[in-house]
Amino acid sequence: MEAEQRSNPGARLVPGASPARSATMRAAVHQRYGPPSVLESSRIGIPQPGPGDVLVQVGAAAVHIGDYFVLTGEPYVLRLAFGLRRPRHGIPGRDLAGVVAAVGKDVTTCRPGDEVFGWSTTGTLTEYACVPADHLVPVPADLSVVSAAAVATSGLTALQALRDIAGVRPGQSVLITGASGGVGSFAVQIATAFGAEVTGVCSTRNVDLVRSLGADHVVDYTQTDFTCSDTRYDVILDNVEARPLAATRRALTPTGTLIPNSGRGGRVLGPLGRIVTARVLSVFTRQRLKPLLSVEKRQDLLTLADLIATGQVTPLIDRTYPLDEAADALRYVGAGHTRGKVVVTL
């Protein structure tokens, strides 16, 4: 499902020796908030793993809309977590896949040379990343490093929304907006694996793509407004939130679940206003309005690895960029029309 690749990143990495303490590495770094042009290619010291950490030689790192928001510092509420005046961690990126270069003395789940994927909280657009061992799992057999890097954030969001919040069961009707995007492309496949009747909402150019992901029905939003049809859904995962809450609720069954999941909104509070509104409305209706707060869990990442290994889920890759073009990758993600995931290769 790789729509476009600008290099040949699918080959397996060849593990190398652990780097010397004095060695340096390439990284994409921003010292201030701003557009992607604030990213600079720098050489910085290679981090050393603590007792429970793993040093990963990064082969690929996915970027998503949250990385773009942190880079720009908007909505401003994000700065409470990432630094008020300037970013605390100047390396963007959260998802990664690569080869274990070294492990801390307490690590028993992997060893040097193992291929792993997962997430980091200190940036992944760099040649090496120091990651807690419980943030990593083995790469499934026959999965490329690029595809593995695309899984963690978007895959976990889709899994937890559908399984934990909505409790999707076989036979339920599930509608997913932004069905061709990062979270949406995982959600369509996961809901299908759970036995739901899946409807994906996307633009004209992505109708065939979303159908190929397993959707039973596809709504082209340029032709049809799903909130104005007579069809009602047990679950709506709204990754776009282009329609008012009141309109989207009309497409729910009387006891259905709506999960708002767009990070966009105003420059100050972002989506917080819509989240608060959804929670207040939940008190006065039998419909469940449940904004999503995804939490990375290693066990859930293992669940995704199993779904991938059994062929029920395949990461959808839109484009790949080399590290030197990380700014272009984030600019493309920020435009908001990705088809699956965007990955930076090293």
CATH, residue 337? 3.90.180.10
For residue 39, is it within any domain?
Answer: yes
Q: Walk along the chain (346 residues) and give the pLDDT tens digit of each residue.
A: 444 333 333 333 445 456 766 689 999 999 999 999 999 999 999 999 999 999 999 999 999 998 988 888 875 666 666 657 788 788 999 999 999 999 999 999 999 999 999 999 999 999 999 999 999 999 999 999 999 999 999 999 999 999 999 999 999 999 999 999 999 999 999 999 999 999 999 999 999 999 999 999 999 999 999 999 999 999 999 998 788 888 999 999 999 999 988 655 445 444 455 555 655 566 557 688 887 777 889 999 999 999 999 999 999 999 999 999 999 999 999 998 899 999 999 9
What does the pLDDT read at residue 336? 87
What does the pLDDT read at residue 1? 44
**What is the rounded CA–CA span in Å between residue 37 and residue 30?**
9
Residues 73-93: b if buried by 16+ CB within 10 A, e if exposed = bbbebbbeeebeeebeebbbb
For residue 310, is it within any domain?
Answer: no
CB 185 within 8 A of CB 64: no
CATH of residue 214: 3.40.50.720
What does the pLDDT read at residue 229? 93
On whether both 166 and 284 belong to a single domain, the answer is yes
What does the pLDDT read at residue 4? 37
Domain total for the chain? Answer: 2
For residue 323, is it within any domain?
Answer: yes
CB 329 within 8 A of CB 321: yes
What does the pLDDT read at residue 111? 95
**What range defines the domain where residue 96 resides?**
24-151+315-345
CB 145 within 8 A of CB 9: yes
What does the pLDDT read at residue 45? 94
What does the pLDDT read at residue 20? 62
Kind plus residue range of the DSSP H or E element containing 209: helix 207-212
